[in-house]
Amino acid sequence: MTMRSSSTYAALGLALGLAGWMLSNDVALVRDNGLMVQAAPFRGPLLGALVVLSFFLAVSAVLSVARDRDRGTLEVLFYGPIDEATYLSGKLVGLLGAYLALMPMLLAGLVVLGIFTRFEIGLRLIAALVLSLIPAAGIVTIGLLLSALAKRVRSSILFFIAAVGLFVGAGVTYSFVSRIPIDDPASPILPLRDALGAVDTVLSRISPFTYLEQVFDWANIGSWTAVGRSLVLSVAGTIVAAVLARLALRWRGVRTREE
Amino acid sequence: MSRSTRLVVAGIALVAVVVIGFTRLGGGDTAGTEKEEFVYYPLVTNGFEYRRVPYPEDVPTMRILAGEPVVIEATRSIVSFWPITREYLADFAKLDEKIPGVAEVVDENGTVTVFDPVPYTLWYPRGPGAEPQFVMGAEAQPTYDAYVEEGRAAFEADRQYQIRVAVLQQEIDAWLKLAADGVDPLPDPPGELTESPPEPYLGYATEPDLSSIVQLPAGSYTLRWRGDDGQIMAGSERELFVAASTRAGVSYTIIPYDRWTQPVFTFDPDEAIYLAEDQEVFLAPLRASRYSAHLYTRLLDPQTIEVPDRNVALWVPDETSPDLSGFSLQVGSGGDRAGNIAWQGYRVFQEPNATRGYTIDEFDVEGALQPDFHAMRLPIDQSVAAIALIDPAGNEVANSSRNIRRVPAIPRAALYLPAVAFLGLAVSLRLFPTGRQAKKN
């Protein structure tokens, strides 16, 4: 993911497309109902756009280490004065730099949408946009961890799909099972519901996307203490993931196969 | 076993331990285990209604609103865990043994306050379904007595009226019989009953009772129950969390002209009102207070499994039908005051030829008719960008301002223009790669 890459702008286009679609629903709501009450109509579109960009960032991170290993670049690099920490830090800084560079373009696109709709973006959401860099670092680090764990690009993609499936699937399944009416306390659905609830609780606490959403929610209502708490937890999670990524890279080695 | 397999097995085991641990944390006891225990059965309020809520020993925290009286009563009952809703339920049908004694509250400094029993009644001036008034102390019995007296008087007035109606009906029947028999000369028919039926009496008051009534400022306390033997009852200690509202403001009921029966509400002062360019609305202000959603949802349902984040707030109206005579709505544009709109009554008139089948006009007092609603009419003026409630003294009511924005009727496709621009850039870079990218390709 670089600023010269066409996929970067494609991701930005998709992110703004999602934001435009979400805003168009609100515009249709005002047109059909005559009125709408909202504190921050850009909260959903901006968060949606950032999830798209973060997802793209995560995919880039997942591919990066495994691709370098596949091509032999990793091995060549490690003959030089580079260790795992330096290499992973470089990847992290590069991807976050791209994310940072995309922010003004994303904001410009949203300002245009704001002029069209007369919806207000608000300073709190702009602050949340800037602060989203910290949970984005967590997302990138998780991607690097998965990539470091995988031997090949194909495995890293499978790891990523499995991780996303787990994060999304657990929440969706729990939400689905919670809606099943239960009349009998001996129903087998009951322990299943509780177990899924526990899994969902655990996963939502370690998911960097949760912290991204929390930063937006709390910034939106001006609860800066809560924003600070989410950011601290996000940084802690990023550090843990970074340490694990370094250990994984050392364990997996720089070559595709053991020779 | 290979290294990878060992890792996978260890990972699965770790996940299982975590899941089982969390399931145990949220699960509680098994179903069907019954225990006889000390249960608080207070009469608590959320500011609108009073409700009895049981607090078995496994519910360690009682949450109440600051400044609101709460009746504390204690019973012995049978408690069992109900896994479906994850609640500890008291079965008062099996055992409901009142425990005599008094409630004691210990504050954070260790000061103990004893709440000796005082009489209380719940007085519903507009009927049992409406908002009650909590009357305590010396006023409780007179309030109840007045209710009984007024109720009896209203019943008697209604009975007398029904008798008069029945007598008149008998006279009419007799006259009709004479007419049918062809009696000549036929006497004059009985006159019409000109009096209106008496107003129905809606009030209701509960019979006065004697209990410890706790009314505290915000803070954390310990609640306990001292029995008649002078000893603190085992299992009676609970954390008592008394919370006040975190912000006060003004909410608005927004009544659209074209759907006047489907109002929309704005509670939070941070919210803006987005209107279609031709939308006319009426605004009915209502004072509201903000509470922690975590606290408020647990006032009447302390064992709910809903866990809203402690930072989520909830706005609750302080009253249901305020009298805002003398108040006005200030409308402004770009920081300038454009004018004030008075609070007044409006009535909906059904008119077949009207665009929506009705018109909404200012209400002029006519006989027994009442306005359909009271509000302030916001004009269709594109320059109006903000509103605020002004009190009779001419001051702006705190947290009553809202931004007003008229949303233009733009084509939906226009909102995809920024996306199309960047997608176009992506395609261009793919088709016409620049410098280094071209070399790389």
- Distance CA(B388)–CA(B404), nearest Å, equals 11
Q: How confident is the model at residue B384 (pLDDT cuts 50, 70, 90)?
A: confident
- Rounded-to-integer distance, Cα B238 and Cα B228, Å: 19
**Residue B82 pLDDT > 90, yes or no?**
no
Stretch among A39-53, B49-63, B336-350 having the lowest mean pLDDT: B336-350
Most confident region among A89-93, A154-158, B367-371 by mean pLDDT: A89-93
Q: Which residue of B has its CA nearest to A45?
A: B415
pLDDT digits (tens, 9 = 90+) for B284-314: 999 899 998 888 999 999 998 777 666 788 8
B15 contacts in chain A (CB < 8 Å): 199
With CA atoms as reference, the chain B residue closest to A15 would be B419
Distance CA B18, CA B26 (A): 12
Average pLDDT over residues A84-112: 92
Q: Compare CB distances from A37 to B27, B271, B311 and report the shortest one's residue.
A: B271
Q: What is the pLDDT of residue A205?
A: 81
Sign (positive or negative) of CA dihedral A137, A138, A141, A143: negative
Distances (CA, A) of B425 to A50, A99, B91, B421: 19, 17, 69, 6
Give B110's DSSP letter. Answer: -
Give the number of C-alpha atoms closer than 13 A to the C-alpha of residue B239, restricted to the C-beta side.
10
Q: What residue spans of chain A are helical by DSSP H?
A: 6-33, 43-71, 73-79, 84-117, 123-131, 133-149, 153-178, 189-206, 208-220, 224-252
- The whole model's pTM is what? 0.77
pLDDT at A82 over 90: no
Provide CB contacts within 8 A for B257, sequence distance 6+: B279, B280, B281, B282, B356, B360
Structure tokens at A107: 């904001």
pLDDT for the residue B12: 66
Per-chain mean pLDDT for chain A = 87
| Record: contact A38-B272, CB cut-off 8 A | yes
Is B351 in a helix, a strand, or coil?
A: coil
Q: Do A120 and B272 touch (CB under 8 A)?
A: yes
Listed by start position, the domains of chain B span: 36-244, 247-409
Query: DSSP secondary-structure letter at B304?
Result: -
Helices B417-431 and A84-117 cross at an angle (nearest 10°) of 130
Q: How many CB pairs under 8 A join A and B?
A: 183
Check residue B29 and give its pLDDT. 56
pLDDT for residue A192 is more than 90? no
Distance from A146 to chain B by nearest Cα, in Å? 15
- Six-digit token string for A52: 């798209």
Token pair, residue B2, equals 């290979």
**CA A91 – CA A146 distance, rounded (Å):** 14
> Helix A133-149 to helix A224-252 angle, to the nearest 10 degrees?
20
Pairwise CA distance, residues A233 & A237, whole Å: 6
Rounded average pLDDT over B39-66: 93
pLDDT at B383: 79
Confidence of residue B334 (pLDDT cuts 50, 70, 90): low
Cβ–Cβ gap A24/B412 under 8 Å? yes
Those residues with Cβ within 8 angstroms of residue A39's Cβ, 6 or more apart along the chain or in another chain:
A220, A221, B268, B270, B271, B272
Task: Give B235-291 pLDDT, tens digit per residue.
Answer: 999 999 999 998 889 999 999 998 888 999 999 888 999 999 889 999 999 989 999
**Under an 8 A CB cutoff, do A38 and B274 touch?**
yes
pLDDT at B437: 61
Whole-number percent of chain B with pLDDT over 90: 54
Helix, strand or coil, per DSSP, at residue A9: helix
Report the residue of chain A nearest B310, measured CA to CA: A226
Taking only the tens place, the pLDDT of each residue in B148-202 is 999 999 999 999 999 999 999 999 999 999 999 888 888 888 888 888 888 889 9
Task: Using alpha carbons, select from B100, B41, B114 the residue that is nearest to residue B228.
Answer: B100
Instruction: Kindly determine whether residue A35 and residue B426, on different chains, have CB atoms separated by under 8 Å.
Output: no
B376/B387 Cα distance (integer angstroms): 11
> Mean pLDDT, to the nearest integer, of A153-175?
83
User: Which chain A residues touch B265 with a CB distance below 8 Å?
Assistant: 37
CB A98 within 8 Å of CB A8:
yes
Please give the mean pLDDT across all residues of chain B: 87
d(CA A238, CA A207): 10
**Ranges assigned E (strand) in B206-327:** 209-214, 219-227, 238-243, 247-256, 264-266, 272-276, 281-292, 313-317
Per-residue pLDDT at B22 exceeds 70: no
Q: Which two tokens stand for residue B219?
A: 């803070």
What is the per-residue pLDDT for B86? 84
Find, among B243, B251, B253, the residue nearest to B293 by Cα: B243
Q: What pLDDT is recorded for position B42?
A: 96
Per the CB < 8 A criterion, the answer to whether A14 and A6 are in contact is no
Cβ–Cβ gap B270/A39 under 8 Å = yes
Over range B203-221, report the average pLDDT: 95
Judged against a pLDDT cut of 50, whether residue A259 lies above it is answered with no
ipTM of the complex: 0.83
CB–CB of B270 and A223 under 8 A? no
CA–CA distance, B63 with B55 (Å, rounded to integer): 11
Tokens 């949303």 — which residue? B407
* Cβ atoms B65, B46 nearer than 8 A: yes
What are the structure tokens assigned to B212, written together? 């410890």
Among B267, B307, B281, residue whose Cα is nearest residue B399: B267
